[in-house]
Amino acid sequence: MTSSTFSSSTSSPALSIWSPPDTPVTSATSAGSPQSSTFAFAFDIDGVLVRSKEALPGATEALRMLQQRNIPFIFLTNGGGSTEKHHVSLLAQRLGLPSLDERQFVQSHSPFHGLVPEFQDKNILVLGGVGDSIRNVAEAYGFRRVITSADMVKTFGAHVYPFLELEDHHHEEHGRLIEHRMPDGRVQISAILVWSSPRSWGLDLQLTMDLLLSEKGVFGTFSASNGDVTLPNHGYLQDGQPAIFFSNPDQTWATAFPLPRVAQGSWRHALQGIWDAQTNKADLSQAVTTYGKPVEATYVYAERVLQKWHKEIHGVDAPPIRHVYMVGDNPASDIQGANAFQSRHGSEWKSILVESGVYVKGTTPAFEPDHTVAGVKDAVNLATWMETEYWGSE
């Protein structure tokens, strides 16, 4: 394995070049495995552990070593579109590690689990995905009144959005008549949840704008408060309109095409532009909640998952986690989020940037990591070395 450099912007060991050994310095071949660990890991997936559905070099070995040493780790990804159980099953297959657990998996919309108690028995509009994929995920989470864009077209007719010529077959196949209605037959939406990048941008933008301007989320109404200068925010969003929850702020993402493709974050900017034009730039933020890296709320959720997993493998009386190493390939999400996060459990989060993904080796990252290494095995070796040889000697 080639040598890898790491940079230190905190009180880490004063080294400039670090050469990982052939086997992890704290592998199971070392003098015994600890009964508990005071450090842990959070791994991004694409570009860190896998690329194009194939395991990256050293990924399986690194995670297997952590399992053998009882060092807790979770997966923290901006991916989504399926259940945690399904995604962790795919990852386990690709890495050859069948013992991975869905309780270790945090994806972009995992925080939506926390919305179930409030919206479980209320109508929610879900956006993103193909066919019934997102409906199925939302119902698996526990939402009981899930409505898709296709359902809206099926229920209200093609005139709900006048440019559906290329999509009629999809809405006809997957749309369902909405069951839960008001006594007068109208449909009230309590929340809008964006689970992945919307597929029908125009339709989804139209439906979302209709609801944000509605009276109490009743589709097909227009609030009398809109534009009232005597009210806060000129009356916009003052009449019980539904909140909108985004699961991923990324504006672009990498595909097989050589240039980045627009993603959910870009759809949100499109919505913002239409909103600004129609409301003279009234404040939309009061209706919006965003999850996904680098948003703090996602790290709060991920840390809660990590703490539970730590207690699962070490017991409720286990010593607290001192350090959490976020290993990622994207400075704008993984590194920025970890650097800014203030732990709710007294842990110190440290960022390790790997050169096996979107980050281009030798360039200056937008957000400086605590350390930079070649790949995930180097990251694990570096962190375990610091914990046993540096931090452990304090």
The per-residue DSSP string of 37-69 comes to: -SEEEEE--BTTTEETTEEPTTHHHHHHHHHHT
* Phi/psi of residue 327, nearest 5 degrees: -110, 115
pLDDT bracket for residue 87 (50, 70, 90): very high
As a whole number of angstroms, the distance between CA 197 and CA 264 comes to 4
**Per-residue pLDDT tens for 135-189?**
999 999 999 999 999 999 999 998 999 898 888 888 889 999 999 999 999 999 9
Dihedral (C-alpha) 250, 256, 260, 264: value to the nearest 10 degrees? -30
pLDDT of 224 over the 60 cut = yes
Please give the average per-residue pLDDT across 268-282, as a whole number. 98
Q: Do 3 and 363 touch, CB atoms closer than 8 A?
A: no
Is-cis flag, bond preceding 294, omega within 30? yes
In this predicted structure, what is the pLDDT of residue 392?
A: 55
Q: Do 76 and 326 touch, CB atoms closer than 8 A?
A: yes
**Per-residue pLDDT tens for 113-126?**
999 999 999 999 99
Question: What structural domains does the chain harbor?
Answer: 4-108+294-393 (3.40.50.1000), 111-290 (3.40.50.1000)
Q: Do 39 and 325 touch, CB atoms closer than 8 A?
A: yes
Which residues 6+ apart lie within 8 Å of 336 measured at CB? 293, 294, 366, 367
pLDDT of 25 over the 90 cut = no
In this predicted structure, what is the pLDDT of residue 35?
A: 57
In this predicted structure, what is the pLDDT of residue 182?
A: 97
> Shortest CA distance to 270 belongs to which of 360, 341, 197?
197
- For residues 31 and 63, the model is more confident at 63
From residue 10, alpha-carbon distances to 46, 212, 370 in Å are: 27, 45, 7
In this predicted structure, what is the pLDDT of residue 258?
A: 78
**Per-residue pLDDT tens for 5-23?**
433 333 333 323 344 444 4
As a whole number of angstroms, the distance between CA 24 and CA 244 comes to 45
Please give the average per-residue pLDDT across 14-34, as a whole number. 40
In this predicted structure, what is the pLDDT of residue 20?
A: 44
The percentage of residues in the chain with a pLDDT greater than 70, rounded to a whole number, is 90
Which residues 6+ apart lie within 8 Å of 92 measured at CB? 98, 99, 100
**Per-residue pLDDT tens for 102-114?**
999 999 999 999 9
As a whole number of angstroms, the distance between CA 238 and CA 225 comes to 7
**Per-residue pLDDT tens for 305-340?**
999 999 999 999 999 999 999 999 999 999 999 999
As a whole number of angstroms, the distance between CA 56 and CA 329 comes to 13
Q: The whole model's pTM is what?
A: 0.86
